[in-house]
Amino acid sequence: MEKILFRSTNRQSKTVSFEEALLRGQAPDYGLYMPVKTPVFSQKKIKEFSKMPYYEVAFEVLKPFVYGEISDTEMFELCRQSYNFPVPVEKLDQNIYILYLDRGPTASFKDFAARLMARMMNHFASKKNINLIVLVATSGDTGGAVADAFFNMANIKVIVLFPLEEVTDRQRKQMTTLGKNVKAIAVKGTFDDCQALVKRAFNDTSFSEKNLTSANSINIGRLLPQSVYYFKALAEIGADSIVFSVPSGNFGNLMGGVFAREMGVPIKKFVVAVNENDEFPRFLETGVYKPVVPSKKCPSNAMNVGHPSNLARLIDLYGGWLTDERDENGNVIRKGVLKIKPDMQKLRNDFISFSISNEETDRMIRYIYEKYKILIEPHGAVSIAAALKSNLTNCICCLETAHPAKFPEKIREILNLEPQIPENISKLDSKQEDFIIIDNNYFELKEIIL
Ligand SMILES: *Cc1c(COP(=O)(O)O)cnc(C)c1O
């Protein structure tokens, strides 16, 4: 085997090792890291994954990417600790399957990425005998998954910023009831304010000794683990080829699938399922890319993204170049500029995309419950609605990315019933919360970090 290096989509920075890509998050030229090459698995090997536990598949798929950086024994152990929950795939009807990615500790598919990334970061930090500070801003789901994933890691402290008034009680509790190495900060402001504070901290040279790092969705360490369930689902379903319908926001989940296809999973097509933020289906249709600003508020709230951060990776893989225009200080002047057009014909061949309205989403939740007695939530509903709209007769696997209990108001409104709460979530209700409230003021944050 040979070590895999990582290059930037902006092509101005040097290629780096996995460790460096993981700890940097973003390349110095503001690009996103891509593996220079990907390993390819034989169809026979992929079929064998059906007999292995999930964590072993994760180990097999991911070890080439960390070769020479994390030993096999250590990587195996990190995968085993990360994936200690079920990943069921069930047949819904004829050619339609549902893959449930909502059984992790925070009942969101973000657990898949966050849990392994946290352990890999901790691995490198403890090997170098340094302490890392992970700083994240969140509008909801990510904060909980990240906080939970990093909880109790010996060499890492986590600071999560969230907008005081914009998260649900449960989302807040997922961040504020852990304690120990997880510090939760409520900002009297919006999610954008939180992000701006975090960004300023990363540019502040007074933290250069502090090993500040991010855990956002562009980190390659979060992306690669999301390839594994595509292998596992195909192997379990046992089809010769497959279509995945991916409920998409920042396109991290989708890129995980695209890498899986590069690695040999026989994926015929992706259905890119989006809510009313329809920049991608419009781009496929017209070839003109225009972010939706401001993004639209839909019930599938983790997908309220008007300019997907991982789209630059997809465009890169199809020969194009999507980047932000910046001034000489690195401040973004214009987001999402298509400098080089990708191969549109190839894109249209490999992807089909539908924007699902809020009304269609509600209708799908009701339809699936009435017809199959299966309860789904808004993100999964967008995925299934798009799959049905595609009219494809192939075997289609739809991803359910969150647990319905995270959306009790919606389920009550549509079906007039109370979703059963998984134990991980219900035990939050009785736990003690601990968090600091700050104004939207950088110096308050700075003091806490120092
Ligand atoms: C984050 C998230 C998504 C969107 O995933 P992307 O990788 O951002 O496309 C979908 N569903 C849920 C529940 C999420 O938390």
- Cα separation, 413 vs 409, in Å, equals 6
DSSP alpha helices (H): ranges in 351-441? 358-372, 378-390, 408-415, 423-426
Residue 245 three-state SS? strand
- Cα separation, 101 vs 113, in Å, equals 11
pLDDT of residue 176: 95
pLDDT digits (tens, 9 = 90+) for 62-78: 999 999 999 999 999 99
Residue 32 three-state SS? coil
pLDDT of residue 222: 92
- Cα separation, 379 vs 275, in Å, equals 9
H or E element at residue 144 = helix 141-150
Is the CB–ligand 1 distance for residue 402 below 6 Å? yes
Domains detected in the chain: 89-108+222-421 (3.40.50.1100)
Residues 6+ apart with CB under 8 A from 203: 330
Give residue for tokens 């500040």.
212
pLDDT of residue 138: 85
H or E element at residue 336 = strand 332-340
H or E element at residue 80 = helix 72-82
Q: Identify the DSSP state of 106.
A: T
pLDDT of residue 403: 94
- Cα separation, 374 vs 366, in Å, equals 10
Instruction: For residue 329, report the distance from its CA to the centre of ligand 1, in Å.
Output: 31
Instruction: For residue 159, report the distance from its CA to the centre of ligand 1, in Å.
Output: 21
Instruction: For residue 280, report the distance from its CA to the centre of ligand 1, in Å.
Output: 15
Out of 253, 274, 298, 304, give the residue to mutate to test ligand 1, the one with the largest number of ligand atoms within 8 Å of its CB. 253
Q: Among 331, 316, 328, which residue's Cα sits nearest to residue 220?
A: 316
pLDDT of residue 330: 80
Q: Mean pLDDT of residues grouped by 10 in the chain (450 residues)?
A: 94 95 90 96 97 98 97 98 98 96 94 96 95 87 89 94 86 92 93 85 84 85 97 97 97 97 98 97 96 90 90 97 90 91 98 98 98 97 98 97 92 94 85 95 92
- Cα separation, 320 vs 301, in Å, equals 29
Q: Are 264 and 232 in contact (CB under 8 A)?
A: no
Which atom belonging to ligand 1 lies closest to the Cα atom of 406? 13
Instruction: For residue 305, report the distance from its CA to the centre of ligand 1, in Å.
Output: 10
By CB atoms closer than 10 A (0-12, 13-18, 19+), residue 5 is middle
Is the CB–ligand 1 distance for residue 247 below 6 Å? yes
- Work out whether the CA dihedral 5, 9, 10, 11 comes out positive or negative: positive
Instruction: For residue 30, report the distance from its CA to the centre of ligand 1, in Å.
Output: 23
Is the CB–ligand 1 distance for residue 252 below 6 Å? yes
By CB atoms closer than 10 A (0-12, 13-18, 19+), residue 44 is exposed
pLDDT of residue 171: 85
Which atom belonging to ligand 1 lies closest to the Cα atom of 142? 15
Residue 51 CB: number of other CB atoms within 10 A?
10
Residue nearest to atom 14 of ligand 1 (CA): 302
Instruction: For residue 154, report the distance from its CA to the centre of ligand 1, in Å.
Output: 28
pLDDT of residue 312: 96
- Cα separation, 293 vs 310, in Å, equals 17
Instruction: For residue 354, report the distance from its CA to the centre of ligand 1, in Å.
Output: 16
Out of 379, 398, 425, give the residue to mutate to test ligand 1, the one with the largest number of ligand atoms within 8 Å of its CB. 379
Question: Residue 36: what are its φ and ψ, rounded to 5°?
Answer: -65, -35
Instruction: For residue 127, report the distance from its CA to the centre of ligand 1, in Å.
Output: 32
Which atom belonging to ligand 1 lies closest to the Cα atom of 226? 7
Apex 317 CA angle, 314 and 323, nearest 5: 60
Which atom belonging to ligand 1 lies closest to the Cα atom of 303? 4
Strands 156-163 and 182-188: parallel
Instruction: For residue 307, report the distance from its CA to the centre of ligand 1, in Å.
Output: 14
pLDDT of residue 277: 95
pLDDT of residue 149: 95
Which atom belonging to ligand 1 lies closest to the Cα atom of 402? 13
Instruction: For residue 431, report the distance from its CA to the centre of ligand 1, in Å.
Output: 27
Apex 171 CA angle, 97 and 177, nearest 5: 125
CA 104 from centre of chain = 14
Which atom belonging to ligand 1 lies closest to the Cα atom of 141? 15
My answer on whether omega of the bond before 342 falls inside 30° of 0, hence cis, is no
By CB atoms closer than 10 A (0-12, 13-18, 19+), residue 184 is buried
Diameter of the chain measured on Cα atoms: 59
Instruction: Tell me if the pTM is above 0.85.
Output: yes
Which atom belonging to ligand 1 lies closest to the Cα atom of 140? 15
Is the CB–ligand 1 distance for residue 253 below 6 Å? yes
